[in-house]
Chains A and B, each alone.
Chain A
């Protein structure tokens, strides 16, 4: 029971179907406080569906989803300020400058404007965007825009950060730099993160644990990763292969 209390995210026997189409089946998983967990799977494996159920924008067909002790769908407002999301695309509002986009979540949470601005500026510095505070989104590069999106999520000081393929639209070099910076900041401030990705390399590099989903089936693999494993190339290659096999293994019989 104690481990359940510590879990920021907890899914128990969760199913989700749209009509006759089963998208997620019997998924049970948890993410503990301060953990960085990668949710891996090929297209159609149900990663985004699981993410949306955790965000509270989708109601599960069966089972139970709890986030920070609340049902995210039925108690949507209870998670105000406890959860932040960084999406695949930056989703910056074009009429707001970098700093205005960053402080948006804080203003919604009712933080006074002056304090919100100070906190936004601090986070922009942490994601190496000082100097670009007053630029509009169209004046920034793709990598810079994604950094603003991450700063916007981190700025509200949430218990949980969800990253939905946040690095997948960037080029390899920018994506790697951003992943490293994000993981460093997340660990430094002890943030709980669940990030969805289809890129095995991203998951191995950033996460404490990987969870692999199979299309219409459920969890195909759950594996912890530590720095020792990351330093051992042979073990890492084997794990990479195992994950690739499980991701591509299709629906369970």
Chain B
């Protein structure tokens, strides 16, 4: 991941993600997904007629494999989901802290920013290999890998959010002579909520990929390790079954986040462009 990647997921400085775009309607969000899924099923079915089963199994075979996984391997789904949740929450808290420090303390800003930018320049694979050398415990390895990869997304996004804070609001709140923590409580924290949500929505897919990679090389538990096992046993139907589960997991997380966003950002005006 590079700083550019991190900036891609972060709302642009000066733009308020709270008012940047209207939420897609339910129909706009669900219908295309259904159409694409049906299209993929048809494509896989056609491909399975011409390719051997160990290259492309039929959709029904993948479905059976998925059901089998849900029946026997559900514990691994829970482990991966928990790892994902803990890592995202930790990265969120530390990233918010670093972003606020960068935004509020100009003297410390260059040092933290340099640290974050150096972090973004280190490839994910380097962190994974280093984690194997440094930490014997699989849980620590995965937590470390996920944290160092996700923290810069939050830190840079929150920093951008604070830079986009309207000067007018700062002057207004300062006219009451607040303590520093009151500026944080009444102005900065509510202002960065849309940035936190938008960053989380953007990184969740990336975080799912990273946790799977981490499990693949650093653990014997979790979806990644089970996919590795399935691959070594030439069970492509199981690999595709796990892939289906991962897609569903990602969709569920995105849906939960959208619901949370609706609740937390109910104050914002819906805007739409004709």
A→B interface (CB under 8 Å): 55, 57, 76-77, 79-81, 83-85, 87, 89, 91, 93-97, 104-105, 107-109, 136, 138, 156
Contact = CB atoms under 8 A, between A and B. Distances in A.
Given A107-B186, A108-B182, A138 B176 contact: no
B175 interface: yes
B273 interface: no
Contacts of A76: 177
Contact of A89 (B18, B168, B190): B168
Interface residues of B, number: 20
A87 B171 contact: yes
A83 B186 CA distance: 19
Nearest to A101: B172
B267 A79 contact: no
A108 B168 contact: no
B224 to A, nearest CB: 39
19 contacts: A57-B171, A57-B174, A76-B177, A81-B176, A84-B175, A84-B176, A85-B175, A89-B168, A93-B186, A93-B187, A93-B190, A95-B191, A95-B267, A95-B268, A96-B190, A96-B267, A104-B186, A109-B176, A136-B267
Interface string B154-194: 00000000000000110111111110001000110011010
Contacts, number: 57
Given A104-B186, A108-B186, A138-B269, A91 B176 contact: no
B118 to A, nearest CB: 35
Interface in B256-274: 267-269
Interface of B, secondary structure class, is helix
B201 to A, nearest CB: 19
Contacts of B172: 85, 87, 91
B175 A80 contact: no
A108 B267 contact: no
B175 A55 contact: yes
A138 B172 CA distance: 18
Interface in B172-226: 172-178, 182, 186-187, 190-191, 193
Contact of B176 (A57, A93, A108): A108
A79 B177 CA distance: 7
Contacts of A89: 168
From B18, B172, B174, B269, name the one whose CB has the most chain A CB atoms within 10 angstroms: B172
A156 B172 CA distance: 14
A104 B168 contact: no
Contacts of B168: 87, 89, 91
B182 A95 contact: no
A105 B176 contact: yes
Contacts of A79: 177
B175 A93 contact: no
Contact of A108 (B18, B178, B269): B178
B268 A83 contact: no
Contacts of A85: 172, 175
Contacts of B177: 76-77, 79-81, 108
Interface string B226-262: 0000000000000000000000000000000000000
A83 B175 CA distance: 8
Contacts of A109: 176
Given A97-B267, A108-B182, 20 more contacts: A55-B175, A57-B174, A79-B177, A81-B176, A81-B177, A83-B175, A84-B175, A85-B172, A85-B175, A87-B168, A87-B171, A91-B172, A93-B190, A94-B268, A104-B176, A105-B176, A107-B186, A108-B178, A108-B186, A136-B267
A85 B18 CA distance: 27
Contacts of A108: 173, 176-178, 182, 186
A91 B178 contact: no
Contacts of B267: 94-97, 136, 138
A95 B165 CA distance: 14
Contacts of A94: 18, 267-268
A29 to B, nearest CB: 21
A135 to B, nearest CB: 10
A81 B171 CA distance: 15
